Structure 1
Amino acid sequence: MRFLLTALAPLTWGTTYIVTTELLPPDRPLLTGALRALPAGLLLLAAVRTLPHGSWWWRAAVLGTLNIGAFFPLLFLAAYRLPGGVAAVLGSVQPLIVIGLSAALLGQSARPRAVAAGLLGVAGVALVVLRPQSAGFDALGLVAGLAGAAAMGAGTVLGKRWGRPDGVGPLTLTAWQLTVGGLLITPLALAVEGLPPHLTTTNLAGYGYLATVNTAVAYWLWWRGLDRIPAASAAFLALLSPVTAVTVGWLVLDQSLTAVQLAGMALALTATAAGALTAAPKTSQVAGQSGTEQPRIRPVARQVS
């Protein structure tokens, strides 16, 4: 069940593209990122009424920067500068990044089967999103795409390493990160893009969906899941996002699906299941640990809170 609930986050993120293209003003990617993060963060912060304390001021700032403040702009920059679905393919290397960082920071060995599943996931996503015209790679776009995947991967692993303070739930941790990220993106969005001349009811509905379901709820589910499953397992679930985006386009926009795309979906889903299960700890390792993979995380959080 913990895997299924966590998977709802990337499934929800997979609807971002259709909402952005069909409901929002054009050419405002940074503003969209700011309006996704800041209202959601402030809403959750008002609900939990808890601010960071001690070392968690800078930890929340680091996590919010990596997972939101840096990830959103880099993601949009890659999407705008790269053709076809190349940005999605670059993002699909995140499980491999998380496997490497988990070995370095969490002491988890990089299992060959997990690495193989990560490579299979990249291949599957490539078949789903790439088109024949996906050529002429832009250097800045490539760097942005890889940097975005690395930022989110690093944020995921650090979040697993640090855990969370006593008495602080995943909802509070989500509020801190979204607020930090939103505060970082908003000045950049206003300086680079500015506000649209007017907003329609459809625009407001789109922004409302992104801020609530797509961001506040989805990121809470993601961090709730990360509290219960290994970081590498969570990273593999992120492969569901591009698959969902293509599926929604087929269902809602009547876009066609080729045999190659269907094969890519099968590969990506196989990699997701294989990678998540391969990275998961054995039952005997988690017995009596309240769903947390590493029993040392909570004491560390208590010492530095």
Structure 2
Amino acid sequence: MRNNDFTRTALAAFAPVVWGSTYVVTTELLPAGHPLFAGLLRSLPAGLIALAFTRTLPQGRWWGRAAALGVLNIGLFFPFLFIAAERLPGGVAATLGAAQPLVVALLAVGVLKESPSAWRFAWGVVGVIGVGLVVLGPAAGFDLVGVLAGLGGAATMALGVTLTKKWGRPKEASPTAFAGWQLTAGGLFLVPVTFLFEGAPPVIGLGAVIGYLWLGGIGGLLAYVLWFRAIGTLPVTSVSMLGLLSPMVAAVLGVAVLGQTLDPVQLTGFALALAAIVAAQRPAPVLAKGVLQ
């Protein structure tokens, strides 16, 4: 991997590392029963700040594209994420989310017209197995709504990431502006949905304020600026594999913050997931009679 690619990959990895804190923040700081409100506060304020800072609005067809990407990457993904986090043990939600690279690998063939990559798909399977070993335990529960939300989040984010790669970023928009368009579009989508399904906002204490500021500022605006920049410069399947860092960080925070422990099976899962992430950043090996794509 060249130095420039390594730097881009490291910056891209910041996003899923921060997103790994979502499970702890949601369960420990945010008011329960308001996943849509959490998604709204994570997106709209950050998006408006980005628009005010960059003073750049979409032009022409990019109004529609920004709206579509905002709904997929933010407006639908955030509620699915928080619903799964509330209704499922963090491990189950994380494992469902880890399926996203597999969906991206399939969409890359259909949407981006890339050649099927057995190499990346195989490592995607290894990554899901590794994450499952890390975060699933005998007490794992399978609430139907939570499972559907977890799968829905993986699917919408995968499609959003793939279309982001397909359409690119207009040259007049900086990464901050591009992230701001999507965060704002996703947030505006969530405004009527939130008040229709959840009614009045919950009472917010100091802990919740800190949680929302973290998720919106660091986990929202900063993380998405780096994430969308990486999608534009790196292979989309490689970037999507970095998402496996999120459940791994969640597991580490469970140890550090919640007093949980990791057994040998979980440590084996860590090794498998890390191997999958690293392998997906490298080109497929060339074989004697062709390329293992």
TM (norm. structure 2) is 0.89
Q: Which residue of 2 aligns with 1:291?
A: none
Shift of 1:178: 0.4
In 1, are the aligned partners of 2:16 and 2:245 still within 8 Å (CA)? Answer: yes
Which of 106, 109, 114 aligns to 1:108? It is: 114
In 2, are the aligned partners of 1:120 and 1:271 still within 8 Å (CA)? Answer: yes
* Deviates further, 143-152 or 156-165: 143-152
- Pairs aligned (count): 279
Q: Which residue of 2 aligns with 1:239?
A: 244
Aligned letter for 1:144? A
Q: Which residue of 1 aligns with 2:39?
A: 33
In 1, are the aligned partners of 2:161 and 2:236 still within 8 Å (CA)? Answer: yes
Distance in 2 separating the partners of 1:198 and 1:143: 28
Distance in 1 separating the partners of 2:144 and 2:252: 29
Q: Which residue of 2 aligns with 1:266?
A: 271
Q: Which residue of 2 aligns with 1:57?
A: 63
Shift of 1:186: 2.5
Distance in 2 separating the partners of 1:211 and 1:142: 25
Percentage identity across paired residues of the two chains: 51
Q: List runs of 5+ in structure 2 lacking aligned partners.
A: 1-6, 286-293
* Deviates further, 41-50 or 17-26: 17-26
Aligned letter for 1:108? E
Q: Which residue of 2 aligns with 1:251?
A: 256
Q: Which residue of 2 aligns with 1:177?
A: 182
In 2, are the aligned partners of 1:24 and 1:202 still within 8 Å (CA)? Answer: yes
Which of 69, 78, 81 aligns to 1:75? It is: 81
Shift of 1:139: 4.1
Question: What is the DSSP-based 3-state SS (H/G/I as helix, E as strand, rest coil) of the residue aligned with 2:139?
Answer: coil
Is structure 2 residue 79 aligned with structure 1 residue 97?
Answer: no
Distance in 1 separating the partners of 2:240 and 2:166: 15
Q: Which residue of 2 aligns with 1:208?
A: 213
Shift of 1:257: 1.5
Which of 121, 129, 133 aligns to 2:127? It is: 121
Shift of 1:161: 0.7
Is structure 2 residue 214 aligned with structure 1 residue 217?
Answer: no
Distance in 1 separating the partners of 2:154 and 2:260: 27
Structure 2 CA distance for partners of 1:254 and 1:143, relative to 1, 3 Å: closer
Shift of 1:228: 1.2
Question: What is the DSSP-based 3-state SS (H/G/I as helix, E as strand, rest coil) of the residue aligned with 1:151?
Answer: helix
Q: List runs of 5+ in structure 1 lacking aligned partners.
A: 281-305
* Deviates further, 17-26 or 33-42: 17-26
Distance in 1 separating the partners of 2:185 and 2:150: 21
Question: What is the DSSP-based 3-state SS (H/G/I as helix, E as strand, rest coil) of the residue aligned with 2:234?
Answer: coil
Distance in 2 separating the partners of 1:84 and 1:8: 20
Q: Which residue of 1 aligns with 2:13?
A: 7
In 1, are the aligned partners of 2:38 and 2:82 still within 8 Å (CA)? Answer: no
Deviations 1:166-212 (A, max 9, x none): 22121111001000111112222223234455322222122111110
* Deviates further, 104-113 or 229-238: 104-113
Aligned letter for 2:229? R
Distance in 1 separating the partners of 2:147 and 2:207: 33
In 2, are the aligned partners of 1:25 and 1:196 still within 8 Å (CA)? Answer: no
Distance in 1 separating the partners of 2:145 and 2:30: 26
Distance in 2 separating the partners of 1:203 and 1:146: 27
Distance in 1 separating the partners of 2:11 and 2:178: 18
Distance in 2 separating the partners of 1:152 and 1:197: 27
Distance in 1 separating the partners of 2:149 and 2:28: 25
Shift of 1:86: 2.0
Aligned letter for 2:128? V
